[in-house]
Amino acid sequence: MKQSAVWCPFVSAFWPEILIQARIEEGTVMRFRSSWVLLLGLVLAGCQVEQPPTPESSTTDSGEKKDSTTPGSTAEGGTEEKSGERKSVAFVTNQIADFWKIAEAGCVAASKEFDIDVQVIMPPEASAVVQKQKVEDVMTGGIQAIAISPLDADNQVEWINSIAAKIPLITHDSDAPKSNRLVYIGMDNYAAGRACGEILKNALPDGGQVLLCIGRLEQDNSKYRRQGVIDVLMGRDRGIDFYQSQPDAFDPNEGEIKGDKYTIVATVTDQGKPEVALQKAEDAIVTYPELKGMAGLFEYNPPACYQALKKAGKVGQVAIAGFDENDVTLQAIKDGECAGTVVQNPYEYGFQSVRVLKEILAGSKDVIPESKYIDIAPRSITKENVEAYWEELKRLKGQ
């Protein structure tokens, strides 16, 4: 039975030797001597009542994963620190998605293994403003370190630095290289983009018109991922260093990009909204009747492309290459209706972020490499290896 503790500053001010604590139990009413009744009636209005934590900041001692669609879910496990204070960190995503539920599973596992509390924060929408508010909310709760996937790296530098000045901060999934983050945990998004481009190129050996679909281009990972696809289709032999040293070398976001065999007709964005992604994919199929290929660069983009093609009766006529491990994408690959997808390892994003933050809080300096980059390599999934990968994925999800 939960108890409510009532603390009365007025009483304690005049009678410091008296501690009044009212406990309400099921079927029991505390009775005070009549001499106290009037006093209690006068002061209770000024008393503060301790409330149980709200669902957004609640915790569990079991270490079990809470509903990922509720921003602020918390994973715990293990015992208290010797000092009596248990370490607490936050893992902040860029929105709610199945991709992040896998990362949350990694956070839960790390919480148990490394004896640390982990709050997994998933903003309800892909908005830098909302992400900032969620981070500020969790900061007031007294977390001691944070891992974040920035939504708008270039415009969030000052804000990220303000947090990094207070507590250890690392980035995951998408980097903010101009900030004072301690380390980035993730993949080389340019190399991953090239891998996606190779999948599409193999599916379209004769070339043709290609559409690129992506959530937004403000993120660091988005820019490099898109550029990797473009460079493969344009026949350019470059690496990520080329663009890191020449930020103006990225292809324009608007307009066609023409090569000898392939023409990228457009790059459409949806601001992280799957329903918008579907509508734009449907519109593009009508706008570009000669379209031969579609590259979906966020987790929900390949399913949107597939569903749009299915509605138009063009499945199999337009090749799809994608990113991440949505079930619709994997089933389409298995059925031979999607050429392939490039998968990250979100489980390791969560697990390694928690591990690194734990070691940083313990004072370890060796955990941060000189490059300030911990590589979690991507994989290309095609019809040849999709079944084995899907089984592995289900195991990680506990299915």
User: Which tens digit of pLDDT belongs to each residue from 86-119?
Assistant: 899 999 999 998 889 999 999 999 999 999 999 9
- The DSSP 8-state label assigned to residue 53 in this structure reads P
- In this predicted model, what pLDDT tens digit does every residue of 26-55 receive, in sequence order? 333 333 333 333 333 433 344 443 333 333
- The answer to whether the predicted template modeling score (pTM) of the entire model surpasses 0.75 is no
Q: Mark 152-177 as b/e (b = at least 16 C-beta within 10 Å).
A: bbeebbebbeebbeebbbbbbbbbbe
C-alpha to C-alpha distance for 66 and 121, rounded to whole angstroms: 11
> Residue 335 is which amino acid?
D
Which pLDDT belongs to residue 46? 42
| Domain 55-186+346-368 -> CATH class | alpha beta
Closest CA to 295 of 199, 383, 189: 199
Indicate the DSSP class of residue 275: H
Instruction: Tell me yes or no: is domain 189-343 CATH 3.60.15.10.
Output: no
User: Are 311 and 284 contacting, i.e. CB atoms less than 8 angstroms apart?
Assistant: no
- Each residue of 206-239: pLDDT tens digit? 999 999 999 999 888 899 999 999 999 999 999 9
Backbone angles phi, psi at 241, to 5 degrees: -60, -30
pLDDT tens digit string along 288-316? 999 999 999 999 999 999 999 999 999 99
Rounded distance between C-alpha atoms, residue 399 and residue 394, angstroms? 5
Q: How confident is the model at residue 396 (pLDDT cuts 50, 70, 90)?
A: confident
Residues of the chain with CATH 3.40.50.2300: 55-186+346-368, 189-343
Q: Does the pLDDT value for residue 128 go beyond 80?
A: yes
What's the rounded mean pLDDT across residues 278-292?
98
